[in-house]
Amino acid sequence: MNNIIKALQDKDDKKAYALFKEIGARSVVSDEYYSCFEDFLGLLNAKSSYVRARGFALCCAQARWDENGKLQNALPVMLALLHDDKPIVVRQCLAALHEVVLYRTELSEAIKAELETIDLSKYKDSMSPLIKKDMDELLKLIDR
């Protein structure tokens, strides 16, 4: 599994992204990567914003298999990424949270509460409305 984590941080972004997509797709049909949850979580501390967003998304991709409450325990650490300095990271994390809201409805209120604390004013005028739109879509899913 260490090789996977190393590969997800590969300098060759195309290779790393391809692996990320493959793990994401496999996580839809199988729990084979659920055992890597803590490793994915470790990626949230990476210097690279791409790697942080990948780690977040892969944690979220395990939501449907999370019978052990790993997501609930990791949620405070994960949600901190919704305040990342890079707006693209915030947008990718908001999109990935759809999976959590669909499969772990018990976490919806905590996610909703965190959304209310996002400071859109720290992002460029070109990005703020996009993040707001992503937040609204996630809220719509929570409130359905």
68 is in which domain, residue-wise? 2-143
Model confidence band, residue 144 (pLDDT cutoffs 50, 70, 90): confident
What is the residue-wise DSSP string for 25-59? HHHHH--TTGGGHHHHHHGGG-SSHHHHHHHHHHH
1-29 mean pLDDT: 92
Q: What percent of the chain has pLDDT over 90?
A: 96
19-34 mean pLDDT: 97
Q: What is the pTM of this model?
A: 0.95
Rounded CA separation 20/11 (Å):
14
pLDDT tens track for 111-141: 999 999 999 999 999 999 999 999 999 999 9
Domain containing residue 80: CATH number: 1.25.10.10
The number of distinct structural domains making up the chain is 1
Rounded CA separation 124/121 (Å):
8
Whole-number pLDDT of residue 22: 96
Please tell me whether residue 118 adopts helix, strand or coil conformation.
coil
Residues with Cβ within 8 Å of 62's Cβ and at least 6 positions away in sequence, in order, are: 27, 31, 33, 34, 37, 40, 70, 71
pLDDT tens track for 71-99: 999 999 999 999 999 999 999 999 999 99
Listed range (10-14, 58-62, 67-71) with the worst mean pLDDT: 10-14
Whole-number pLDDT of residue 66: 97
Share the mean pLDDT of the chain: 96
